[in-house]
Structure 1
């Protein structure tokens, strides 16, 4: 699955907890707060003045690699 700007932060976390360090690197540290369930990636980046395109790129690179590893069993 691919992360998109319209996805809620919590939905991305539920897809793969391995995304947590990516959020941290980008300055999103309050992943357990209630806003994560009602705030899209786009909204979170706007509120925290973060680069949405870079966050999406980093998340999707990770998710693609994790999916490939799961398929090959490595």
Structure 2
């Protein structure tokens, strides 16, 4: 299960199928150097993305 405390890069490494979800929400984090350190919650906040919706979509795609 993906949580808000996981780093973006950790999510993408473990679950590469989540990339389209990030892209749909305007998060091109796979190219960002901070993705290794930035937690999902922080990235969503900075980019004004609905965190509960993002988490729901990410977890749906990995199930």
Same fold (TM over 0.5): yes
* Structure exhibiting the larger radius of gyration computed from Cα positions: 1
**Corresponding position of 1:33:** 32
Structure 1, gaps ≥5 residues long: 65-74
Measure, in 1, the Cα distance between the counterparts of 2:54 and 2:29. 16
- Corresponding pairs, count: 63
| Residues in 1 aligned to 2:10 and 2:31: alpha-carbon distance in whole angstroms | 12
Of structures 1 and 2, the one with the larger relative CO (CA 8 A, separation 6+) is 2
The corresponding residue for 1:46 is 45
Cα-Cα RMSD: 0.8
Unaligned runs of 5+ in 2: none
Is the 2:12–2:19 contact (alpha carbons within 8 Å) kept by the matching residues of 1?
Answer: yes
The residue number in structure 2 matching 1:14 is 13
